[in-house]
Each structure stands twice: as structure tokens, then as C-alpha cells.
Amino acid sequence: MDPITVLTTLWRNKWVTLPVVLLTAAACIYVYLYAPRTYEANVSYALTAPDVPSNYELENNAEVAKLNSNNPYLRSSDSSLLAQVVITKLSDPVYVEQLKEAGFGSDFKIAPVASLGMGLVTVSASSESPAEAVETAKLVGEQFTSTLTSVQKINGADDRYLYTPILVRGPGPAKEMYSNRLRSLIMVAIAGSVLLFGAVSVARSIRLRAQRRTKSVDGKAADQPAEEDPAARIRRSEGRRAAPHSDSFPAPLRTDVTAGQFAAAAGKASSS
């Protein structure tokens, strides 16, 4: 169906189209102006590798040699395994429920920066309140640093052999996520479009059904003879009574002849 046909159909059913369009426009304006907002706050950490002592330092410094170096994550070539373990622990539903019970937001995400791998990790928290988003990001960031330390100390490793998080950014003021508002507007517009075409289709089918019913009634009326006007019927009956009889039929016998006229006529007949 080409656009001209669509516009023509919409205009032909304008009394259905206009209310739906106005309703959709009002809903879009309401969503844009009064719908709940979503704010996001971010905290970023850089993971730095420990300053592992050299063999020379271990041989010449007895205190350093006594330190516990049993950090299992030092066996990995980078910090990706450590960061993934911490993210998995903080994504536990139990921890999310603890945040809810404490009055914080539960919508947060911990993920590495795509271009830098696991060397830079960002904690993002979103909420309908800017203050709640900032507080949630700050709390989850603190939990990230403490969990990062605790998982490395599973074997009692000394702090010198631990990866250290360094705060790079945040938590600053929360920013509104306009993408959520735009997503809501798109959903409302799609729902309005579906409602519009559904209403137009229903109105069009009702109109076509009414047209078919009208044509059917007109066809039946044309097949039946028209009813004659009673006055015309009376005039036609009077005309028949007043018209002379045809020659093909004998004239009716007269019943108004008197007895004297009948005797005179009989006498004339006998004399002749």
C-alpha cells in the first residue's frame, strides 16, 4: 500500500483518526514531561599490580623474605581473573537483596572499560533519584575495593603482594539517562500507531459492511413491483366503469323496460 493510499484512508476515517492521534500526542507529551526520570552515577577504579620484590631484595632483606606472598591471583598474567571474581561476587542476588534492605538502589553494573580490558573497572548505579544513584555507586565502589582485597587474602598474603584499586573518577553528580526517556516515547508512539491502524481498520470494515447492506436492500426493492397509490387505484376503477364496452362483447340486457313498452313492441312485431 503506497503512502497516498494510506493518507487517503486516514483522511476518509478522520473522525476516528483525529482522536487517536490527539490521544497519542498527549501521551507522548506526558511521558516526556512527567514520567519518572532515571539517573546514573559512575565510579571508576584502576587496578595496579603489586610491587613484587626481586630475588636480590629477598636475599638481602630478611623482613621482606618473611612476608607471605601466597596470592593466588599473582599466578595469572593480568588482573582480569581477579576483577571477574570480584564482579561475580558482587552480582550475587544475596548482595543485591542486602542493598535493598539497606535502602539503596539495586540497579547497578560493574564492568571493565571495553578499550582497556580489566585494567579499568567502572561501577554504574542508576535510580529514579540522583542522590540515591550517587550513594549506591559509592557504596558498591567501596564494596568492590574491600572484596578485591579480601579475595586476595584467602591464603593470608601480605599487602605488598596484592593488587590495589585506585580511584580514578567519581562518584560525581548523577546524570539523567535520556535514552530511557526516548525509549519510553518510542514505545508510546508505537502503541499509538497500532491503535490508530486498528481503529481505522475497524471503522473501514463497518463502513463497507453498511454499504453492502444498503446495496442488498436496494436490489430487493428494485425486484419487487412498486405499490400503487390508493387514490390512483380508485381513479382507475372509476375509469373502467365509465368506459364503453367493446364490440367484441354483447351489450348487457336492459332490465329497466316497463310492461307497456314491452306490449307495444310485441304488437308491432305481430302486425308486421
Residues 58-77 as b or e (16 or more Cβ within 10 Å = b): eeeeeeeeeeebebebbeee
Torsion angle of C-alpha atoms 157, 161, 163, 166, degrees rounded to 10: 110
In a 13 Å sphere around the CA of 270, the CA atoms on its Cβ side amount to 6
Structure confidence at residue 209 (pLDDT): 83
Q: What is the pLDDT along the chain (272 residues), one digit of tens a residue?
A: 677 887 787 778 778 888 888 998 898 888 888 877 888 888 988 888 888 888 888 788 888 788 888 888 888 777 778 888 888 888 888 888 878 877 777 788 888 765 555 578 888 888 888 888 888 888 888 888 888 888 888 888 888 888 888 888 877 788 888 777 788 888 888 998 898 888 888 888 887 888 787 777 666 655 555 555 666 666 666 666 655 544 444 555 555 555 566 566 656 655 55
pTM above 0.75, yes or no: no
* Cα(142)–Cα(165) distance, integer angstroms: 10
* Cα(192)–Cα(185) distance, integer angstroms: 11
**Which is nearest to 111 in space by CA: 154, 144, 146?**
144
Using left for φ > 0, alpha for ψ between -120 and 50, and beta otherwise, residue 111 falls in beta
Place of cell 630478611: 62
* Cα(209)–Cα(212) distance, integer angstroms: 5
Which DSSP string do the residues of 75-119 spell out, in sequence order?
GSSSSHHHHHHHHHHHT-HHHHHHHHHTT----EEEEE-TTTGGG
